[in-house]
Chains A and B, each alone.
Chain A
Amino acid sequence: DSGVTQTPKHLITATGQRVTLRCSPRSGDLSVYWYQQSLDQGLQFLIQYYNGEERAKGNILERFSAQQFPDLHSELNLSSLELGDSALYFCASSVALPSPGANVLTFGAGSRLTVL
């Protein structure tokens, strides 16, 4: 158990629908990151929050949004779902803002989203 909790573990939904993925970071970690892993692809960085504020953005679609709440948990909202959104979505956390040479992230087990 890495200490990063993601729910749900699995989710099956239809095209056009909206889902919310939830992440609780490791105790004491202030930064939360979201990554997407599509079939046979590496992990693609989506977005990062630090202590409630957005700090970095990757290739996140406009249909996707995220936020980090005062209790530091984070939610990733995916709307108008398409077949291509089927993927593993990982959340990771770190103690603080990473500095060069200290980018060790702790990952959750992921949420597998299947869009039919």
Chain B
Amino acid sequence: DQQVKQNSPSLSVQEGRISILNCDYTNSMFDYFLWYKKYPAEGPTFLISISSIKDKNEDGRFTVFLNKSAKHLSLHIVPSQPGDSAVYFCAASALQGAQKLVFGQGTRLTINP
């Protein structure tokens, strides 16, 4: 049962344009969402998060949007840079299961010069 889904395995974007990565979840108990970024041969690194009491959180070029009614979140990167090329994982946690994060399958983002 895949509770967190990233339906796009890969995404290719031109440098300077906007990258939009999407994530859907099924568990209505999830109340905290995170995005992690992973380069080859490295572990995932935390990028940005959002609580379910908000619908938007911004950090520099990165903005995460949360649509609770649709159980959908997205990560916007503007403008996209070559160094943003990586695998992006969406993750979620629930109040009662705060010890564990449930991850999506990841989306490989490639920024083309």
Contacts and interface: CB of A to CB of B under 8 A. Distances in A.
Contacts of B31: 100-101
Interface string B15-50: 000000000000000011010100001111110010
Contact of B46 (A45, A106, A110): A106
Interface residues of B, number: 30
Interface in A58-116: 58, 90, 92, 97-101, 103-110
A55 interface: yes
B41 to A, nearest CB: 7
Contact of B97 (A33, A56, A92): A56
B51 interface: yes
A35 to B, nearest CB: 8
Nearest to B49: A104
A42 interface: yes
**Which 6 residue pairs spanning A and B have beta carbons closest together?**
A107-B43, A56-B99, A42-B103, A43-B103, A45-B100, A42-B105
Given A33-B99, A100-B31, A109-B42, 15 more contacts: A2-B45, A31-B99, A35-B103, A40-B105, A42-B2, A42-B89, A42-B104, A42-B105, A43-B103, A45-B100, A56-B100, A98-B99, A101-B32, A103-B93, A107-B36
Interface of B: 2, 4, 6, 9, 31-32, 34, 36, 41-46, 49, 51, 89, 91, 93, 95, 97-106
